[in-house]
Structure 1
Amino acid sequence: MEGLLLLVLIAGAFALGQLWRRTTRLEAEIARLHDRLIRLDPGPIPAAAPHEPRAVPAPPRASPPTDRSAAIGPPQPEPAAPRFTAPNLEDLIGGRLLIWVGAAALVVAAFFLVRYSIESGLIGPAARALIAAIFAALLIAASEAARRLPAFSGDQRVAQALAGAGVASAYGTLYLAAAVYALIGALPAFALMLVVTGIGLALALRHGPPTAVMALAGGFLAPLVAGFDAAGIAPLLVYLGLFIAALFALAGHRRWPWLAVAATAAGFAWTGFLIAAVDGGSVAAVGAFVILLAVAATLALPTTDRFGWLRLAPLTLGLIQLLALAPVLDFGALAWSFYLTIAAASLVLGWKDARLLLAAPIALALFLLLLGFAFASGPTSATIVAAVVGAALFGGTGMALSRRDRVWAALAALGAAGPLLVANLAAPALASPGGWFLLALIPLAALIGLTHRHRDRLGSGDSGLIGGTAFAALLAIVATGQLLPPLWIALPIVAAMALLIAWARRLSDPDLARLSLLALVVAITIALPGLADVANTMFVSLGGEALTYRYLEEPARLLAALAAPSALAIAWMLADRFAFGAFRRQAIWLAGAAAIACCYVALKLPLAIDTAPEFIARGFAERAFITQAFLAGGWLLLRRDAAWAGRALMAIGLLRIIWFDLLFLSPLAVPQAVGTLPLANLAVIHLAAAAVWFASLAATRDRRIAMALTLAAALALVRQATHGSILTGPVSTAENWGYSAILLLLAVAWLWRGIAATSSDLRRGGLGLLVLVTLKIVVIDAARLDGFLRIASFLGLGIALIGIHWLYNRFLRPLSRTFTPTDNDPPPGRAPA
């Protein structure tokens, strides 16, 4: 009962809020009118004598013109307008809140009295109902007395509170007498319900919104007092239906949209509670009540534009509740009949009122969702029949009204193809491949007819033309794909993509051109399991996992589904800029990602490294080939003016070199064969080839990356020459001197090339590398030598430095004093950034 009291208090607080807003508006309006009166006539208004009529002043006589400033005198300050003072807490509690808390207490006291009499057995059922009826009548009579007595005439809240409490008590009494104790039959109960409803309507019309709020709260909470299932669900639903109907009538007559909204919300709260609380035998009645409530509430809610969006809520709530009801009824014929009935009502209401048009696609979307659940849980004959009836209902209605609005055209396309696609996806074993092919021909013909009907709307983005074509292509892929082996699934996808692109190109319709992306999306959807394996393989490889091939479950299936569509999409985009229309960028992203995944799998498929010895023998070779594929693809795309895609592939290749070859799977730490030849080995060729790819590009950052890769290739040359095919092991003296020699030669080469090509990057790189080599020789190399070798080393270093000094004075100093037109130097007259 504490919860009941809380709900009653909430209802009272709602009524209090309504009164507070109304009083605030009236007081603000009075203050504004008072301010205007003072501005128009600042002088005092003389009061007339009680029994003497006020004298009418004579019209003023004309006077000679005088100085207006002298006549008027100095300006008088305008009196300040009275400031509106909000009611304080004491006024709010004592003047408004207490009266409604008292009314709620009366209702709760009546409920407690009835319950106490029931539990203690003091009086019989008839006496209990009679006492409750007398209490309700006394409350209503007291409200009328409070309205008429002079002592209460100044405060209408007393009469309102008593009237609301009386109406709530009368509804509770009627429920006890008819539903719980069966003291009166169905026909007398119905008649008395009409009487109570009429009394509540009359009192609400007489006393205003507070009485209606109390009646609403009491009427909905009354069944909870005696137990909602005391007399069964059917009498409870009849009671709720009549009560909600009365509230709708009152809301429409008094133009109270809030009352209709509150009644709708309370009604759906009851149905949601009953769906969760009652058993399967009583749920059927609840489902029928949900349909009636959804339709009635949609018709009862206000039709103004201000509340137009709110009218979709009852239908949506009804569809959702029936969606939750279907599993309780085991997706049987009754569950599907309920849902299809409210779906048909949504179609009719959308046809009659354009503001309710969105209810139809909402119903279709939830129908397809429910259909997927039903087929996944085990297809039954009722579910199959529902799929056919739903396709005819949504698709047929949409076809008939497709030219009326785009929503109907979209409904026709999705309604015709959706049920078959959902059934094929959720229960593929339901029919044979040939059976699925034949079933797909029926909606395919309907979609072709829809597209033909809208053929005159090219370039308008018409849903019938675009949607019909899209779902026709999708059904064609599904229908033909049923007859092909899994490894040939790409054939219908490629054919559909080519036909869509060619047709859009012929009609020059950019909206149709976007549809070619659909075939690529279908290919990616089919290949999603394989793509998930590729993503997992790449993820574990980032952590240093060497044997990654084992994470690819079915690489051949991935290539069969995705290689041809992605290659066709890329080739067509490079050949024709009209391909894919406004979705060209999205197509590049999808096709590029699919192509990368296919290339990755194709490069790992031949070697299929799955053991440690295989990784030592061929792991570096496989990784180098994959990296070079990325670099080559990026270089080709940059040459074809696909800058962002080419840059992405080049960046992936460079990151692979840094992440794998230099850090986590470096051949210096993890044994991997790179080849026995001093120069023609994979370590040197791999890094040198990467340097060539970047050096051939024009950007300054690419040339700098190429210099870094060249340096890495030179160091790999020395390492391989001193260690052989396996690069692990300590650094020997010969290797240490080899590093110094190769770095010195590389520094001289960069300096020479920088002079010849007037490249400041090469010159600065050569000088910087020369300084590092010098420090290395002095600090590290010479410290390990003694005698003649130390003398020879310093002698050679001195000669080399003198020669470089001469080169710098001869060539580099003049270049450093003049501007060289390189893209990393600032132009004349501008300071470096």
Structure 2
Amino acid sequence: MDDSIFVILALVAFGLAISGPVAFALAIAQRGRITALEQRLARFERMPPAAAPANEAVSPVARPEPQPEPVQEVPSPTPRVPPVPAARPAPEPKKPGPSFEERFGTRWTVWVGGIALAFGAALLVRYSVEAGYFGPAMRVVSGLALAVGLLATGEFLRRRLRGSLPVPATWPDIPAMVTAAGTVALFGTIYSAHALYGFIGPEAAFIALGATGLGVMTLALLHGPALAGLGLIAAMGTPLLIGKGGSPWPLTVYLPAVAASAYGFAWFKGWRALAVAAGIGATVWALVLGLASSTATASGAAQLHGVIQAALASLVFALPHRLTSPEHAKPDRFGSAVLLVAMAVLIALIGLTPKAGYGPLWILTAAAAVAIPAVAGFLVAPLAAGLVIAGIALCGVIVLWVPPPSENWVSVLIRLDTTDPGVLIAVAGLSAAGIASAGALRLIGGGRLPLATVLIYAAGAALAPLAALGLTYLRLAQAEVSSSFAVTAGVLALAMTWLAATFRAQREKTPADALTIGLGAFASAAVAALALGLVFAVSGGSLTVAMALAALGTGAIARRLDIPALRWCVAGLGVVVAGRLAWDPMVVGGELGRTPIFNWLLVGYGVPALAFGLASRIIRLPGTRADAPPLIAQALSLLLAAFLVFFEIRHALHGGDIYALDSGLLEHGLLSLSALGFATVLVRLDGVHGSPVIRFASLAFGVIAFVQSLAALGLAVNPYFTDEPVAGGLVFNEIPVAYGLPALVALALARAAQATRPPWYVVGAGGVGVVLCFLAVTLLIRHGFQGAQLGIDRETSQPEWYAYSAGWLAFGLALLAYGLLRQSLAARLASAALVGLSTLKVFLFDLSGLDGPLRALSFLGLGAVLIGIGLVYQRFVFAPARAG
């Protein structure tokens, strides 16, 4: 029997499967019309009858006949009947939500049916291949026929159903679903004709698949954005379906054409999601091409593709603001995010492409990463952040500028050598000048711009040249003294001074906020450029010092010229300094000298700490609570001061080598002492200033000190566990400094924090103080018996065991006395804990471990102390009230 009969039966069954949903859809359309008519009829039936007019009770034409006068009687009160208000139409009942039946019949069946159509088409083709009913040519023709049939059915349903009642937005579109199934079948057939059967070559398949994708996006103008998304995915995925091999250059034309088509459809129909999807696809392809590039040709194609896609995306998301008036030019966050992503992709491409890809296209891509956001920010005021993004891109270009081809470098943040330094200087100089000029032009003519937009323009124009100069100095001068860079910084300072003078003259003629902010921004940039020049000219300086001095100068200018917005420039410089510290906390490298305290650390950390501390006071607005700028400056001042103390300790204890890998008991003790001292001072200052930064810093330093004291002093460097020798004599040695001083400061912190800090903080400080005191007493006793080395494996004599009991009891009595004098419950409880520990030791160890008079003395002493403590509690703590 011929097997073709089974194929015919399968096609007939498929036709019946299609006709069922079609008939069901048509029935649903007619049912919708009937339902609408029934609802209108019900509304008419629920309307109340119109009330009769009041003048219809007595007609003005028919007057009443006269009646005889009644006999006068005593009037009796009659109740007044209130007037009956006119009937109001009943409110229309709230429309109930869709029922389960509606969800099932109008939504779930359509979605599942569309998916089933696509899978059914694929399974039918697969079955025909496995059974061998048709040859390859017939299979392709059948697939094309099936795809065309589904597309025609979708168009037929669109024309029939779209003319009926409007479909609710929550219902899936049946014509679009059938059309989508047809497009899937068409893509599968074309791909099979190329990949499975070889009927068409890769070029023809590429063109056919790409044209199909664009055609699907065109059909989306009739069927909605979901079909456009399907077409975009198919068109973007076409190069992956064709396979590897061939030149990547055609992709630089094809992929931007697909993205541009999607952008055009999105623009025409207002489908923002389609534009975003096109941008995501372009970004993914740019990164894929960059990662896959192993030759100069592939690198050039990836770079050119990235430039075209970035320009397209910037143009599309900048066009909506072409008619925005200056008064309404508020920053567009979404458009700015698009510029940021485009810039990041280009920076990633110049970083991903190999050194073989360095050439004119590499330099063009680097310049485009700066120029595209800068041009968008200059031309479109709501995208003013483009200037700031351009400055960030310029920094990335300088950092990633290609090193010599012969260098076997490992990827680091700053590569201290570079290819074509002259080209780097030209790109950096021209880009920085362009960004500064664009920002200055927008500010000098931006009297009607919103304040946020003005601030963004000012930040980009002032900070980009400074950042470019600093990074170029690091790349070419390698952080050494450079007179040429010092002169360049002086020239930049003169240029910024000239711009500030220009803005000041213009402000005197036509006062405006933009001119005032521009004046302050360029004046601050002039101060910062001078600070950079000092760093470039003097050995041992650092960018951290320069930025801190620039922040102080900016704060002084903001206070002198009364420009509150400049306070945010101080905050911005503070954020840069924080980032610099996060990258490398050791900002001062090289030879620091061996002199304790008076060394370059005072310059690298002390000067910035002082500068930000003064700036926080200068920029604080009088009569108001401190806001973000002074708080940021205050936080950096505290952080830099902490780093200064930390590195000064290391410098003093390691002979000037702050990079030493080892650390001992004395160093950790001084670190704990410093952290506890910081916390205590900040708790005291918080009562005066009421700053949230001071409050948080006091908590942070306290917690760090608690952990440092217990983990390091209690375990890590405890000489009892490490057996490291303790330096010093019998009394004056490392133990009182490492344990005793931090213990006293911790107890002082607990007392100072009682009124202003949480209970856990107070208990923690007191507990750390008691533990450190206990360790100090114990280790001092062991040092007196053992000498310099106190290791756990050394033999302990009976007098030493007895001394521990006596020392612990003495410490407990001292705590009890303090608790009674200061009326401190915590101290009395700590005393009770120590006395309890001593009691356990005497009964559990001394009873069996000691002999002779020491055992008797141990019990006698313990008994006397316990009785004395009981007497004190009876007479002074819980004494009964005397009778009157």
Answer yes or no: same fold by TM over 0.5: yes
Q: Look up the SS of the partner of 2:802 in the other structure.
A: helix
1:599 aligned residue (643, 648, 652): 648
Residue type of the partner of 2:782? R
Q: Return closer, same or farther for 1:99/1:464 CA change in 2, 3 Å cut-off.
A: same
The partner residue of 1:396 within 430, 437, 457 is 437
In the TM superposition, 1:101-112 aligns within 5 A as none
Per the TM alignment, residue 390 of structure 1 is displaced from its structure 2 partner at its CA by 1.9
Separation (CA, whole Å) in 2 of partners of 1:35 and 1:507: 71
2:720 match = 668
Maintained 8 Å contact 1:161/1:214: no
Deviation of residue 374 (structure 1)? Answer: 1.9
* Kept in 2: contact 1:368–1:422 (CA 8 A): yes
Could you give the per-residue CA deviations for residues 460-507 of structure 1, whole angstroms, max 9, x where no partner exists? 998645654554444333322122223688875675465455545545
2:378–2:384 Cα contact (<8 Å) kept: yes
Structure 2 distance, partners of 1:621, 1:149, is: 88
Q: Could you tell me whether the CA contact under 8 Å between 1:510 and 1:582 is conserved in 2?
A: no
- Distance (Å, rounded) in 2 between the aligned partners of 1:799 and 1:79: 87
Distance in 2, Cα, partners of 1:592 & 1:784: 51
Q: Secondary structure at the match of 1:683?
A: helix
Write the distance in 1 (CA, Å) between the matches of 2:868 and 2:153. Answer: 116
Residue 96 to residue 300, structure 1, CA distance change in 2 (3 Å) = farther
* 1:719 is aligned to 2:773: no
Q: Distance in 1 between matches of 2:849 and 2:178?
A: 106
Asked if 1:379 is matched to 2:419, the reply is yes
Corresponding position of 1:731: 796
Deviation by residue 1:141-187 (Cα, 9 ceiling, x = unmatched): 98999799999999995999699989x99xx9xxx999969xxxxxx
1:528-584 CA-to-partner distances (Å, cap 9, x unmatched) read: 7873699xxxxxxxxxxxxxxxxx997659985543354346557888971562324
In the alignment, structure 1 residue 86 sits paired with structure 2 residue 140: no
- Using the TM superposition, give the Cα deviation of residue 738 of structure 1 relative to its aligned residue in structure 2, in angstroms: 3.2
Whether 1:41 and 2:45 are equivalent positions in the alignment is yes
Contact 2:520 2:566 in 1 (8 A): yes
Q: Distance in 1 between matches of 2:860 and 2:306?
A: 101
Alignment gaps of 5+ in structure 1: 1-19, 44-58, 110-118, 123-127, 182-192, 535-551, 820-833
Q: Deviations over 1:116-163 (max 9, x none)?
A: xxx9999xxxxx9xx9xx999x99998999799999999995999699
Structure 2 contact 544–604 (Cα < 8 Å) conserved: yes
Going from structure 1 to structure 2, the CA distance change for 1:342 and 1:818 (only over 3 Å counts) comes to same
Q: 1:353 to 1:494 in 2, by over 3 A?
A: closer
Q: How far is 1:413 from its partner?
A: 2.0
Give the whole-Å Cα distance in 2 for the aligned partners of 1:634 and 1:27. Answer: 77
Q: Cα offset for 1:598? A: 2.2
1:373 Cα deviation after fit: 1.3
Per-residue Cα deviation, 1:710-742 (whole angstroms, up to 9, x for no partner):
554444454344334444532222223333444
- Post-superposition CA distance 1:60-93 (Å, at most 9, x none): 9x9979xx99xx9xx9x99998977537579977
Which residue type is aligned with residue 725 of structure 2? Q
Q: Is the 8 A contact 1:494 1:565 kept in 2?
A: no
Q: Counterparts of 2:718 and 2:388 in 1: how far apart (Å)?
A: 57
- 1:817 aligns with 879
TM-aligned CA deviation for residue 594 of structure 1: 1.4
Q: Distance in 1 between matches of 2:159 and 2:818?
A: 111
Q: Residue 365 of structure 1 aligns with which residue?
A: 392
**How far does the alpha carbon of each residue in 1:584-633 deviate from its partner, in whole angstroms, 9 at most, with x for none?**
44224422431232233233234979999x99xxx655555555555555
Q: Supply the distance in 2 between the matched residues of 1:350 and 1:653 (Cα, whole angstroms).
A: 48
CA distance in 1, matches of 2:607, 2:154: 84
Matches within 5 A, 1:122-161: none
What does residue 168 of structure 2 align with? none
Any idea what the Cα deviations from partners look like across 1:442-467, whole Å, max 9, x if unmatched?
Answer: 43333334445566699999864565
Residue identity opposite 2:879 in structure 1: R
Q: Give the corresponding residue for 2:19.
A: none
Change in CA separation of 1:654 and 1:575 when aligned onto 2, cut-off 3 Å: same
Q: Name the aligned partner's letter for residue 487 of structure 2.
A: L
Matched to 2:606, the amino acid is A
What SS does the corresponding residue of 2:725 show, helix, strand or coil? Answer: coil
Q: CA deviation at 1:693?
A: 3.7
1-side partners of 2:267 and 2:767: how far apart?
Answer: 78
- Give yes or no for contact 1:350–1:357 (8 Å, CA) kept in 2: yes
The answer to whether the 8 A contact 1:260-1:301 is kept is: no
Q: Relative to 1, partners in 2 of residues 1:593 and 1:355: Cα closer, same or farther, differing over 3 Å?
A: same
CA–CA separation in structure 2 for the residues paired with 1:707 and 1:100: 74
Amino acid at match of 2:484: G
The code of the aligned residue for 1:448 comes to: T
Instruction: Trace 1:513-532 onto structure 2 (pairs within 5 A).
Output: 531=585
> Is 1:475 equivalent to 2:529 in the alignment?
yes
Alpha-carbon distance in 2 for matches of 1:589, 1:300: 46
User: CA–CA distance in 2 between the matches of 1:233 and 1:801?
Assistant: 90
Q: 1:211 to 1:324 in 2, by over 3 A?
A: closer
Structure 2: 5+ residue stretches without partners = 1-23, 59-82, 126-134, 165-172, 191-198, 205-210, 325-331, 405-417, 447-453, 620-629, 688-693, 755-762
| Residue number among 608, 617, 625 corresponding to 1:578 in the alignment | 617
- % identical aligned pairs: 20
Alignment of 1:396-545 (within 5 A): 396-403=437-444, 404=446, 405-428=454-477, 433-452=482-501, 464=518, 467-468=521-522, 471-486=525-540, 496=550, 499-500=553-554, 502-504=556-558, 506-507=560-561, 512=566, 531=585
Task: Decide whether the 8 Å contact of 1:715 with 1:739 is kept in 2.
Answer: yes
- Please identify, of 412-421 and 393-402, the stretch whose mean Cα deviation from structure 2 is larger: 412-421
* Structure 1 pair 350–685 and aligned structure 2 pair: CA distance change class (3 A): closer
Q: Secondary structure at the match of 2:538?
A: coil
Q: Secondary structure at the match of 1:668?
A: helix
Contact 1:406 1:462 in 2 (8 A): no
- Show CA shifts across 1:737-764 (max 9, x none): 3334445555556666666666666666
The 8 Å contact of residues 633 and 649 in structure 1, kept in 2 or not, is answered as yes
Partner of 1:6 in structure 2?
none
What TM-score do the two structures reach when normalised by structure 1? 0.62
Secondary structure, counterpart of 1:401 in structure 2: helix
User: Relative to structure 1, is the Cα distance of residues 634 and 323 closer, same or farther in structure 2, using a 3 angstrom cutoff?
Assistant: closer
* Equivalent in the alignment of 1:187: none
Report the more deviating stretch, 758-767 or 217-226. Answer: 217-226
- 1:406 Cα shift? 3.0
- 1:355, 1:528 → 2: CA distance? 32
TM-score when normalising by structure 2:
0.60
- 2: CA distance, partners of 1:481 / 1:416: 16
Separation (CA, whole Å) in 1 of partners of 2:105 and 2:796: 87
Amino acid in the other structure paired with 1:596: V
More displaced stretch, 393-402 vs 441-450: 441-450
Q: Report the alpha carbon displacement of residue 401 of structure 1 after superposing the two structures with TM.
A: 0.7
